[in-house]
Structure 1
Amino acid sequence: MTYAMLNAYSVSFCLLPLGALLFDILIGDPRTSFHPVALIGRMISLFEKSLLKPHASSFMKKTSGGLLVFLVLTLTYEIIWYVCTCLDKLDTWEAVVGRALLLSLAISPRSLAEAGFEIRHYLVKKNIKEARRKVGWIVGRDTGHLSAGEVTRATVETVAENIVDGVIAPLFFAALGGVPLAFLYRAVNTLDSMVGYKNEKYSDFGMIAARTDDIFNYIPARITGLLLLGAVCLLRLDIVSAVKTFWHDASKHPSPNSGIPESIVAGALHIQLGGVNYYGGIPSHRATMGQADEALTSDHIKKTVWLMYVTTLLFVLIYAGGSFYLYYSSGSF
């Protein structure tokens, strides 16, 4: 590989997250059954049919669930690695663009924003029926009887939580190991969203998937927390309340990671998240975060989306700037 090619690849590594974010903003997440994450989901469903035996012992279900995780992660990484290898056979900058486009499919800031703003639109128009229907697409709880405030709470919680899952974590793993590792993370996250439930069907079979997701999100969630506090400052929201709420309430969340962004958003916006949700008609209480100083309104969705975008931009700029600095200081340029 020539020196010029090495330089090009060095620059491409620095620009990869910026290019991915730009593609996401311009193109968004294509709604197709051939989307890589959709294909990962179909792979999981296919393996689940073979591996999940309803009458097996708890140990065997956990073992089968572990095998599911191993198979899905291994195949996902190998397939994306092969695609990237094929891209590298193109001209250098074509390969760079191809990798950035592929990485854009692993992140979802535009999809999160579009979902949030669509629900907000129906709330503003006082079309609560359609708002309930749309929020049902992005949450697992029952939504048929939610009030406008509860629709807002569900939307804010989902957007806040997915700042980690849908944006920062895949970019973080791309920084560590390129596009294949970013998609390996997306496979971890998809496994958790499909089988990582604490119910009769999945409590044993999905245990390893859920634990793997907790482990993979541990560092990205804390990076997100720091960047989200920076976004709170930049948007001139209440940083003191955000820090206090994070300190007192983040650990109350059943997830060791999701409580970080949700508690910061709750404090920054002076709202209360958590409370009673219904799943299949059965109530489930989750500890509350933040104080209900303000009634939940559609404007809180807009503010949460802006917090998501500013947090994303901060990570991308730090990633690109840090990479350029390391390469420059090492004499690669």
Structure 2
Amino acid sequence: MISLITGFILDLLLGDPYRMPHPIRGIGWIIQKLERRLLREEDSPGTQLWKGAVLVAVVCLVSVLLPAVLLLLAYRIHRYLGMAVGAFMCYQLLATKCLKTESMKVYQALKAGDVEEARTAVSMIVGRDTAVLDETGITKAAVETVAENASDGSIAPLLYMALGGPLLGFFYKAVNTMDSMIGYKNEKYLYFGRTAARMDDILNYLPSRISGLLMTAAAYLLGMDGKNAWRIFRRDGRKHDSPNSAQTEAACAGALQIRLAGDAWYFGHKKEKPTIGDPIRPVCAEDIRLANRLLYGSAVLALLAVCAVGAGIRIMINI
């Protein structure tokens, strides 16, 4: 737990080190290499399906085995070195400050009146086409990304590391990274990426709902509309193709009293999507900053919760 707390603090203070190697980029590199070797358009759906499963197995194995060896070697040298390496791994697996930093670039561009720069900034953190977005669309895209990744990038890895240390955290991030790269329901990845997408759905099912609850609690504590966050969380939490993605988006939309989601463009094609939340007030750039307050509040509550549960378990064991 000490390594997790230290890693959490390091993430909030330092964020991702852009100029040094990052394990998630390494996982992404492995996925790209395996995809080039395995994916063939002429393969049958069944062949693409088992090849995608092979990719998932290899990536998960490598993503857990390498840090396991490194952690074991560190602990064999000295206990404190092992704890330090574990803390660094936990820090690398969390993305709370990075998410805030990247989304605030969108906020700053909008406040400066530079819509083109805001489009460029938001294109770095979303998968949709951004050229067609106006100021409202840009803001909504940034807020939705902060809300959704509050679970994927912060709370879910924290929960898995609390359960199984950095190794379980690496397993989670490997699956999550595969889903973000090959888990699309398009012609190219429909079968090849299905295993990755299904595993990500399973791993995020409980964390996404816990994240939605924590975000609702954070809304109350931060003086936002906690009552509306709870209402929209329950009403709109399933309004997404994924069973998990709308959970935190719904809580965030309710807390901010705005409407999110709706139709969006991906790879030149318009995708019809349901809306999340009620338009109690218009969306504005300030909502990006408020969404980040919810992100931080939810993450801190998650850390306090796992620490409390861990302390309770230790007390019960010692009784």
TM-score range, shorter chain: over 0.9
The letter of the residue matching 1:295 is P
Partner of 2:190: 203
SS of the residue 1:330 aligns to: helix
Alignment of 1:270-281 (within 5 A): 270-281=257-268
Percentage of matched positions with identical amino acids: 36
- Give per-residue Cα distances to partners, 1:150-200, cap 9 Å, x unaligned: 101000100100011101111111122111110110000000011001111
Show the counterpart of 2:18. Answer: 31
Give 1:108's aligned residue. Answer: 95
Q: 1:95 aligns with which of 71, 82, 92?
A: 82
- Root mean square deviation of aligned Cα: 1.3
Match in the other structure for 1:318: 305
Confirm or deny: 8 A CA contact 1:152 1:296 kept in the other structure: yes
Q: What is the letter of the counterpart of residue 230 of structure 2?
A: V
Kept after mapping to 2: 8 A contact 1:244/1:267: yes
How many Å separate the matches in 2 of 1:159 and 1:61? Answer: 33
Checking the alignment, whether the CA contact within 8 Å between 1:87 and 1:99 is kept in structure 2 is no
- The letter of the residue matching 2:104 is F
1:223 corresponds to which of 203, 210, 213: 210
Cα deviation for residue 48 of structure 1 reads 0.7
**Is 1:137–2:127 an aligned residue pair?**
no
Unaligned runs of 5+ in 2: none
CA contact (8 A) 1:17 1:319 kept: no
Pairing 1:41–2:44 present: no
Call closer, same or farther: CA 1:192–1:32 in 2, change over 3 Å: farther
Is 1:73 matched with 2:60? yes
From 223, 229, 234, the equivalent of 2:221 is 234
For 2:301 and 2:267, the matched residues in 1 are separated by 39
Aligned AA (2:147): A
Pairs aligned (count): 319
- 1:1-333 pair list within 5 angstroms: 14-32=1-19, 34-331=21-318
Q: 1:33 to 1:69 in 2, by over 3 A?
A: farther
Normalised by the length of structure 1, the TM-score is 0.93
Which structure 1 residue ranges, 5 or more long, are not aligned?
Answer: 1-13
Q: Check conservation: 2:103, 2:125, Cα contact below 8 A.
A: no
Please report how far the alpha carbon of residue 28 of structure 1 lies from its aligned counterpart in structure 2 after TM superposition: 1.3
Q: Is the 8 A contact 1:271 1:290 kept in 2?
A: yes
